[in-house]
Amino acid sequence: MKGSIKRDIFNLPNIITLFRILLIPVVAILITYESPRNCFFAALFFSLASGTDFVDGYLARRLNLITVTGKFLDPLADKLMVVTSLVMLIPLNRVPAWLVVILLAREFSITVLRALASQEGLVMAAGQEGKAKAALQMVGIVGLLVHYPYEIDFIIFKGMIDFHRVGMVLIILSMIFSLLSAFSYFKWFAMEIDKKSQHQG
């Protein structure tokens, strides 16, 4: 019994997820003490944390270590990282509060919807809009964290990049995909409940 509990919690994918959670206060502190250097490292650690999201999921599937703890920790780590970063960027005037409210309201509403769907025996799979939202959101936050313009000289591109502007464009696009995916999820849920009620009737 103890061995199974230990395996459920202390396995490689979950340890990587816990590492991602531990990076959250590091990013928060770097955002608080704003400077070009700290902003760069905040973006770097945020990118590292985002990258581990793919790694722990891949390892969990590859090593057959998909656990209840992992299913709880993985989305929690993602949401904590995004929420913390966006909320702390508001007082720095890097992102408008209304946009953050929309994004967070969408996340909370979909979390509640998933719980309701689970109670009804329904599995709400991530749609293409939701995946696009997540990707745009992560890259957009990196841009907002870097914030400052930098001269880039890289193979196919040479010039100045305004990371704040790029980040804002991507965050706004992620908001659009957030609303589209939320509409799709609620529409799917309503249709499934309707089918279930007709079947029972």
Map out the domains of the chain with their CATH numbers. Answer: 1-89 (1.20.120.1760), 93-201 (no CATH)
Question: How many other C-beta atoms are found inside a 10 Å radius of the C-beta of residue 65?
Answer: 16
The per-residue pLDDT for range 181-201, each reduced to its tens digit, is 889 888 888 888 877 777 665
**Residues with Cβ within 8 Å of residue 137, at least 6 apart in sequence:** 82, 103, 170, 171, 174, 178
Q: In this predicted model, what pLDDT tens digit does every residue of 133-159 receive, in sequence order?
A: 888 899 999 999 998 888 777 667 677
Question: Residue 89 in contact with residue 95, Cβ under 8 Å?
Answer: yes
Residue 33, Cβ neighbours under 10 Å: how many? 10
Write out pLDDT tens, residues 60-110. Answer: 777 777 777 767 777 788 888 899 999 999 999 999 999 999 999 988 898
Rg for the chain, CA atoms, rounded: 19
Q: How far apart are CA 88 and CA 100, in angstroms?
A: 10
What mean pLDDT do residues 37-63 have? 83
Contact 148, 163 (CB under 8 A): yes
* φ, ψ dihedrals at 150, nearest 5°: -135, 145
Q: Give the residue-averaged pLDDT of 10-15.
A: 77
Cβ atoms of residues 42 and 30 within 8 Å: yes
Please determine, for residue 6, whether its predicted confidence score (pLDDT) is greater than 60: no
Q: How confident is the model at residue 157, as a pLDDT?
A: 66
